Chains A and B, each alone.
Chain A
Amino acid sequence: MLSVPMALVTAGSAFAVPSCLASNFPAVSGGESSLKVSCIVPVGTAAGTKTTIKDYAQARWHSGAARLSAADGTFTSGSAVVTSTTGHFVAGDVNHQVTSDLPGIPAGAFIKTFTSATSVTLNVVTTASATTAVLTVENSSARHATDVTRSATTLLTSATANFKAGDVGAIVTGTGIKPGTKISVVGVSGANTTATISQPTNQAGSNGYLTINPVLQPASNRKVTDLHNPSAAASATIISATAGFTQSDVGLAVVGIGTGWPVGARIITVTSATTAVMSATATLGVAATHVALIGNPDVGAPTDGSTVAQLGAELQLSPTLVASSDDCANHTPEGFSIQGTWENPASFVAPSLTLGAAPSNSVGQIVYNNSSAAFAGYVVRSLTGTYTFIIPVLPTALAQCAGTALGSVFTFNPITAGQSLLPTGLAAPNTAVVRGYADFVGAVPPANTAGTVTVGTNAPITLTACAVSRQLNGPTTWACGQG
């Protein structure tokens, strides 16, 4: 891992502009990955306040969202039928995982059959009864099956996987499945028990494990701040240049902040990446300034307050402003490190002195809080599915000695402690991560364009490019960057 050489943070640094190094580990397709970015802001640089880390092209921060029912979920032990008058089930929910705050729905259960807006049938029977359960319905078809029979060629058979046309193109992993395999064809004569995959299995076998990933990265629970209506008239249509609406948004709640929003609205249609239709009308007007939360955290999301990041800094602090610091003339930098905790959009914390607002389409907030003061950064998803971490105001220059440099290290964990403790199968496959890398079909990984770091008003610094590898390639290629 990287470290910031102390010699570089004292006065007289030779750097003329900020410089940054990055390290990803492990940079393996379809797996979680940490990110560490170390920067030096040299003497005399107009650092500004904003720090932006544009992540590598193939990096994926937590994605996925869910919708919640009221406490009216009903199921009977031994039956696979689940009902809820507030479930708002739709045909598109098929193959989406369902969990409950009350015991009875087995981990990994998903909707196999859509019956009505208030009733669905799971792929497994429930193991207890409930009438007041809060149901959580995931917004992706990521799921797994444990009864898969593999031919020696390309045929998979499962009584429970519920293969559907929407699975064509989905990357699959599991027992005897080669990396880079996708589903090519589903069903034989209309049956949903078979699928043909894109390359032969390693060997024939039965009762194998199979993970089916969604074809497209699901939308995330997020905060959007540039919403508006098409015109001054009340309308159920909402428009945003940043929200990046996808079909996986259908069913998610829209909780408006401020006036003009309906209560209890959800998305019922997605017209384009910038336009969606809600279940109720809003009176927002045409000013792109309205704020709403879309969706709820899914089961695999980092929980509020969980540690996901660290920020370290080496800098010379003025003893006039920080009581415990020594004289600036001594050129002895002080160092500190602070933990960053995750907040889901509905729980975003107002940082001290309003140190910057959440950018639109923020999927998570990382709060650096030492109990006396707090500042925050935001994980923002772009329309193309890349991610950027933005700290609107980094207060490191509050007490910096004149004519000194700043060294800072941003570290992001791949997974939280809570995510690692989730029971197997409870979260949808590959969702219980903070940051990771997308999987890919075939043998050749897509270009993993290097990210950039922008410090204040300086030009973006391009991080070292690297390729995402598969574990088959051996451990020597697992690292990415200078780590």
Chain B
Amino acid sequence: MHFLRRVLVPLHVVALVTAALLSGAPTASAAAADTTLLQPGWAVTAATVSCPGQPQRSMTSLQAATFLQSFIADAFFSHLKVQDPPAGVTRCTVTLASIFAGEPPQPASPVGYATNGTKVWVQIPPGKWSVAKQTQRAIDSFAGHGTYVPVANAPTTTPASSPKTTAPATSDSSHGSSTTWIWIVVLAAVVVLALAAVIRSRRRRSATTTAGPPRQT
């Protein structure tokens, strides 16, 4: 029984976490836990993507960080060409929050994104709309396919793994943001099945041993 208790508690946790991940509307604690470093002491949260005429979707923090990495350093360290997206090009908004070590929580802030397929415009308020230098990278990362660049000179904290993001851009937020969620669910299911198999196996063994005469204690 003690063994079962030890196993069932983790199972319970796994189930709760899985349910939270599947909910599509992460709880505050879940959202706070999902952060990815941009630089030492600066992490970003999961993001919400809004494009006119399209269903809202979400990005994991890893996807959000990867998206920012596709242009943010260029925005700060080199001179992006200031230019508004042409009329008719859909302007999307990626809303995310930053978390800074030792600082109070910051409100979410919007980042503008627009593309015509050959050029990408980004806007980090209060900056103006500017042309991203790494077009394909920006397009891929906005779609959830970019590659996260691990932060240099940082302690090995978040992100723990999976520097490659694999999410499609079309996921509805009500069903999770990307295939990342599917992988998480699959992983969770595998863990549950494995644990269940272990439990069943132990039960059988236990049943076998208890079939004999009662033991003296």
Contact surface of A with B, Cβ cutoff 8 Å: 43-50, 317-318, 320-324, 334, 336, 349-357, 369-375, 392-393, 395, 397-404, 456-457
User: Which of the residues A336, A354, A369 comes within 8 Å of B109, measured between beta carbons?
Assistant: A354
Is B40 touching A49 in the complex (CB atoms < 8 A)?
yes
Residue numbers in B under 8 Å from A351 (CB-CB): 126
Contacting A49 at CB < 8 Å: which of B41, B77, B149?
Answer: B41
Mostly, the B contact residues are: loop
Q: How far is the CA of A49 from the CA of B72 in the complex (A)?
A: 16
Q: List 21 A-B contacts (CB under 8 A).
A: A48-B101, A50-B102, A317-B77, A322-B74, A350-B109, A350-B126, A353-B68, A354-B98, A354-B106, A357-B103, A370-B75, A371-B79, A371-B80, A372-B80, A372-B127, A393-B100, A397-B39, A398-B39, A398-B72, A398-B76, A401-B152
Known: A352-B125, A369-B126, A372-B76. 9 other contacts (CB 8 A): A45-B153, A46-B40, A352-B126, A354-B107, A354-B108, A354-B109, A369-B127, A395-B42, A402-B153
In this complex, what residue of A is CB-closest to B70? A321
In the bound assembly, the distance between CA atoms of A355 and B106 in angstroms comes to 8
Task: List, in ascending order, chain A residues with CB within 8 A of B125's CB.
Answer: 350, 352
A321 and B137 CA atoms in complex are apart in Å by 10
B69 within 8 A of A: yes
Residue from B82, B126, B149 with most neighbouring chain A CB atoms (10 Å): B126
A404 to B152, CA, bound (A): 9
B97 at the interface (CB under 8 A from A): yes
Contact at A317–B40, with CB atoms within 8 Å? no
Contact B124 A46 (CB under 8 A): no
Cβ of B1 within 8 Å of any chain A Cβ, yes or no, is no
Question: Does B51 count as interface, using CB distance less than 8 angstroms?
Answer: no
Q: Which residues of B contact A324 (CB under 8 A)?
A: 78, 133
Measured in the bound complex, the distance between the Cα atoms of B110 and A428 in whole Å is: 42
Contact of B76 among A357, A373, A404 (CB under 8 A): A373
With A373-B75, A456-B41 in contact, do A49 and B127 touch (Cβ < 8 Å)? no
- Chain A: which residue is nearest B97 at the CB level? A354
**In the complex, A457 Cα to B40 Cα: how many Å?**
11
The reply to whether B41 and A370 form a contact with Cβ atoms under 8 Å apart is no
B40 nearest CB across to chain A (Å): 6
Does B91 have its Cβ within 8 Å of any Cβ on chain A? no
Residues in A neighbouring B103, C-beta threshold 8 A: 49-50, 356-357, 392-393
> Is A372 in contact with B101, judged by CB distance below 8 angstroms?
no
Would you give the shortest CB distance from A305 to chain B, in whole angstroms? Answer: 12
Contact B104 A321, beta carbon cutoff 8 Å: no
| Max count, chain B CB within 10 A of own CB: residue among A43, A45, A400, A404 | A400
On whether the beta carbons of A47 and B153 are closer than 8 Å, the reply is yes
A323:B133 contact, CB within 8 angstroms: yes
Closest to A49 in B: B41
Q: How far is the CA of A291 from the CA of B83 in the complex (A)?
A: 36
- 7 smallest CB-CB distances across A and B, nearest first, come from A399-B73, A402-B152, A49-B41, A397-B39, A373-B75, A354-B106, A321-B73
Q: Is the CB of A371 within 8 A of B130?
A: yes
Question: Which residues of chain B have a CB within 8 Å of any CB of chain A?
Answer: 38-42, 44, 68-69, 72-80, 82, 96-98, 100-104, 106-109, 111, 124-128, 130, 133-134, 149, 151-155
Question: What's the Cα separation between A395 and B76 when bound, in Å?
Answer: 8
A374 near B127 with CB under 8 A, answer yes
Residues from chain B with Cβ under 8 Å of A401 in the complex: 152
A353 x B82 contact (CB < 8 A): no
> What A residues does B79 contact at CB under 8 A?
370-372
Contact A395 to B40, CB < 8 A, known contacts A353-B124, A354-B106: no
Minimal beta-carbon separation of A353 from chain B (angstroms): 5
State how many angstroms separate the Cβ of B63 from the closest Cβ of chain A.
Answer: 16
| Residue ID in chain B nearest A368 by CB atoms | B76
Q: How far is the CB of B206 from chain A (nearest CB, A)?
A: 50
Q: List residues of chain B with CB within 8 A of the CB of A398.
A: 38-39, 72-73, 76-77
Instruction: Find chain A residues with CB under 8 A from B149 CB.
Output: 318, 320-321
B67 CB to nearest chain A CB (Å): 12
Please indicate the chain B residues that have their CB under 8 angstroms from the CB of A50 in the complex. 41, 100, 102-103
Contact, CB under 8 Å: A457 / B101: yes
Tell me which residues across on chain A come within 8 A of B106, comparing CB atoms: 354, 356-357
A312 shortest CB reach to chain B, Å: 12
Contact B152 A374 (CB under 8 A): no
Question: CB-CB < 8 A to A356: which residues of B?
Answer: 100, 103, 106
State A356–B99 Cα separation when bound (angstroms): 9
Give Cα distance in the complex from A400 to B41, angstroms.
14
- A48-B40 contact in complex given A317-B77, A357-B104, A370-B79, C-beta closer than 8 Å: yes
Q: Which of A371, A373, A401 gathers most chain B CB within 10 Å?
A: A373
Docked-complex contact A400 and B153, CB < 8 angstroms = yes
How many Å lie between the Cα of A44 and that of B154 in the bound state?
A: 9
Q: Are B82 and A371 in contact (CB under 8 A)?
A: yes
Closest chain B residue to A289 by CB distance?
B104
